Chains A and B, each alone.
Chain A
Amino acid sequence: MKKRIIAFAIAVFVCFSMTFSASAASSYIFDDGNHLSYDEIAELNSMAARIENLYGYCVMFCIAQDANGATYSYSEELYSLESDSENGILVTDNLGANEYAIYLAGAAEYVITEQMENIIWEAYESSETYFGGISSYYAAVETILESDAYTSPVTPAGEPNGLAETTAEFVPVERELPLVVDRADLLTDDEEKNFCARFEMLAQKYEMEIAVLTVPDLEGKTSEEYADDFYDYNGYGYGENDDGMLVLYKPGAEGNREIYITTHGTGSSTFFEDARNEMIDAMIDDLIDENYAAAFNTYADLAEQYLKPNVSFVWLLVCIAIGMLTGFVIIRCIAGRNKSVRMQTNANVYTRPGSMVVTGGVDNFVGKTVNRTPKPKNDSSGSGGSHTSSSGRTHSGSGRSF
């Protein structure tokens, strides 16, 4: 009983140590003892969220420091406490007792066989780091759920995190992932860190989140859908309106590479279609040459250029032209007053008051013409390519396959 209380206390502690929104079980990872960094937890959470979105399973992982002998019951307790989902998996690595437990909830009990449990555990064990292990664990679970031609026991609609088709109103979440998510592993850790730092700096300075996402595949979505959904459901964007821009890149063979830049909020007005295309144009060569760091550096440079308050040189010329013209007209008017001698044009002042009589007045209707011109279609210019994503929010975006 005492242990249970301790386990409960741990669970509560874990719960509070994660600063998540209190409404739903927004964390899938319980890390007692801080073996994972904040960013790692965030990325793992997003992987779990995706699995839940796709298959309807709440897949969790717990690193416990001390749950002597009661690993399984601790897991059961933790699952029921933390998950709103009927179906799910919770793997607990009990470091104190050097044992593990796999708790299967709901439909998982029937789907996950003992053999599969071994595969799952081995996947976790295969990596040196906790992060690598848990990532592999998620990959293994996903493989199992996918390869079994398994159909989801429940429709994903209305699951926690609002990962779904849009029946319910979209509830913005807080971003847990870093601004650079390199799922396709195109950047070194150092590069990733540097970009993250740079984008965080930009976000603070210009109140706009600039993000990079690389993925190995688009999971059947179009690049636009993928980028929009990733942006929306992971809470990207600065401030109340989630202002920001995210570039999605999927590497591949020639013709299969995809790049998509999605913008939201003021991001859509800062990065017009021209700006987005300029960025894509600037990045494309480096992407083909696999100079990913250079490509994303260009992206960051251009983004900053557009964010910097800037009034173009052409506008300066326009200002000068307008100013000079106005100045010329005003001075001309003032100088024109020096000339006061001119002929009169009429004799209005000599009209005999009340002498005007209109004796005949006819207004004949002659004809009517109606001109019809098609309205100009507003495409390409302006923010351009504005569309509504699956969350119901408005995005603008430009993309390309090459």
Chain B
Amino acid sequence: MSAVLEQKCPCCGGAVAFDTGSQKLKCPYCDTEFDVENFSQGDSSAEAHDDITWNTQSSEWGESETDGMSVYSCNSCGGEIIADSTTGATSCPYCGNPVVVKGKFSGALRPDLVIPFKLDKKAAKEALKKHISSKKFVPKAFKNNNHIDEIKGVYVPHWLFTCDAAANISYSAEKIRSWSDSEYDYTEIESYEVFRSGSIGFDNVPVDGSEKMPDDLMESIEPFDVSQAVDFNTAYLAGYLADKYDVSADKSIARANERIKNSAGSAFTETVKGYTAVTPRSVYVNIANGFYKYALYPVWVLKTRWNGKEYTFAMNGQTGKFVGDIPTDKKAVTKATLLLGAGISAFLYGISWLIELL
């Protein structure tokens, strides 16, 4: 069953939203604050007499068209909300009330953890401004006329992999020594075969579980501090967008393995000391005692359009780490390269003259 859930204020009946400052639910109408835990009961009671279902029989839509699309009704105004089938939380386009789509996070699909938003929309906007102004060679038009097309706080589904990695690695290593006498230069190369085995543990290696979110964007705003994560509660989603995972844990595990293998390899390579050169010959990393968790990570996504191209920025909603590619002014880069090049050339030439004259 799918339904839209509003977190209703017990005092005035308005739709409450999660407030980042107080880390509590807050009613925008009567300013009453509620602890997330206390509010959970209300959540379940609301769930109990919620019986609105979405219309799967809609004849206007062809089968393929409705694939990946869901239609919900807003609890406050009854308006129709059309959203992605993976959307778990959004806001009503008519009355603006934050809504959580019920059923998206139930049963096996229920996230284990959630890291609540620590930073609000204002912080994200400011971070974008700072991000752009800190960069050089940004086209002036982009810098000055920049306006944000879209800004949304999204709980992005992540798979967190925890495991022990057992490594078995062999290296070829060399010790190189050089010396010379009056007639010859000598180079001595001592070759070694080096083996290392052992284990190393990794906790909560995240992999983006959302198809919509670019993986590189999500990995760029890492790391999140999982120790601040709390048990999942739909109350945290109020006021934000939330997606259900659409990349399964099985599919995501390959990416986690890749990163774990690289880290395990380099950790053991660091124990091969005293050599001039070390080259891994074979690297076997076996993952043992692995389990994964399903978590929602807070991300601010900002979009802006310039010269017909869309630029996407992301901010870690917990730490504030801000990333996003910015266009470079090629003309300015060329100009600066020539100027700096000419400057360095002139400096070198001047120095040579100075040396020559002294």
Contacts and interface: CB of A to CB of B under 8 A. Distances in A.
Interface of A: 309-311, 315-316, 319-320, 322-328, 330-332, 334-335, 337-352, 355-375
Contacts of A341: 214, 216-217, 220, 323-325
Given A357-B200, A362-B194, 7 more contacts: A322-B345, A342-B220, A344-B219, A344-B222, A355-B202, A358-B196, A368-B190
Contacts of B223: 349-350
Interface string B199-236: 11111110000000011110110110000000000000
Contacts of B138: 338
5 contacts: A327-B340, A342-B220, A347-B256, A361-B195, A373-B185
Nearest to A369: B189
Interface string B321-358: 00111111000010011111111111111001100110
Interface of B: 135-138, 164, 173, 180, 182-205, 214-217, 219-220, 222-223, 256, 259-260, 262-263, 266-268, 271-272, 323-328, 333, 336-349, 352-353, 356-357
A355 to B, nearest CB: 3
Nearest to B262: A346
Does more than half of chain B's interface fall in helix, strand or loop, or is it mixed?
mixed
Contact of B205 (A339, A345, A350, A369): A350
Contacts of A335: 136-137, 328, 333
Nearest to B137: A335
A319 B220 contact: no
Nearest to A336: B328
A339 B195 CA distance: 39
Contact of B193 (A309, A310, A344, A366): A366
B192 A366 contact: yes
A374 B180 CA distance: 9
A374 B183 contact: yes
Contacts of B215: 343
Nearest to A377: B183
A319 B350 CA distance: 10
A372 B223 CA distance: 51
B344 to A, nearest CB: 4
Contacts of B135: 337-338
The CB with the most chain B CB atoms within 10 A, among A316, A326, A338, is that of: A338
B137 A355 contact: no
Given A319-B352, A338-B328, A360 B195 contact: yes
Given A323-B343, A358-B197, A347 B191 contact: no
B259 A346 contact: yes
A270 to B, nearest CB: 11
A359 B268 CA distance: 11
B187 A370 contact: yes
B285 to A, nearest CB: 11
A350 B199 contact: no
A338 B343 CA distance: 24
Given A331-B336, A362-B194, A347 B202 contact: yes
A352 B137 contact: no
The CB with the most chain B CB atoms within 10 A, among A322, A324, A339, A343, is that of: A343
A369 to B, nearest CB: 5
B79 to A, nearest CB: 36
Contacts of B220: 340-344
Nearest to A328: B337
Given A341-B220, A344-B219, A355-B164, A365 B192 contact: yes
Contacts of B173: 363
* A-B interface, 5 closest residue pairs, ranked by CB to CB distance from nearest: A323-B345, A327-B341, A355-B201, A352-B201, A323-B344
Contacts of A356: 198-201, 267
Nearest to A367: B191
B338 A327 contact: yes
Nearest to A338: B326
A323 B346 CA distance: 8
Nearest to A339: B325
B256 to A, nearest CB: 7
A343 B219 CA distance: 6
A315 B355 CA distance: 13
A358 B268 CA distance: 8
Contacts of B339: 327
Nearest to A320: B345
A323 B348 CA distance: 8
Nearest to B353: A311
Contacts of B356: 309-311
Contacts of B326: 338-340
B299 to A, nearest CB: 13
B202 A374 contact: no
A367 to B, nearest CB: 5
A351 B202 contact: yes
Nearest to B132: A338
A367 B348 CA distance: 47
Contacts of A361: 194-197, 271
A36 B224 CA distance: 99
Contacts of B325: 338-341
A38 to B, nearest CB: 34
A314 B4 CA distance: 77
Contacts of A330: 340
Given A349-B223, A375-B185, A326 B137 contact: no
Contacts of A371: 186-189
A334 B138 CA distance: 11
A354 B223 CA distance: 19
A366 B191 contact: yes
A351 B201 CA distance: 6
Contacts of A358: 196-198, 268, 271
Contacts of A327: 336-344
A350 B190 contact: no
Contacts of B195: 360-362, 364
A347 B193 contact: no
B191 to A, nearest CB: 4
Given A348-B263, A359-B198, A360-B198, A309 B189 contact: no
A338 B137 contact: yes
A358 B135 CA distance: 44
The CB with the most chain A CB atoms within 10 A, among B205, B215, B348, is that of: B348
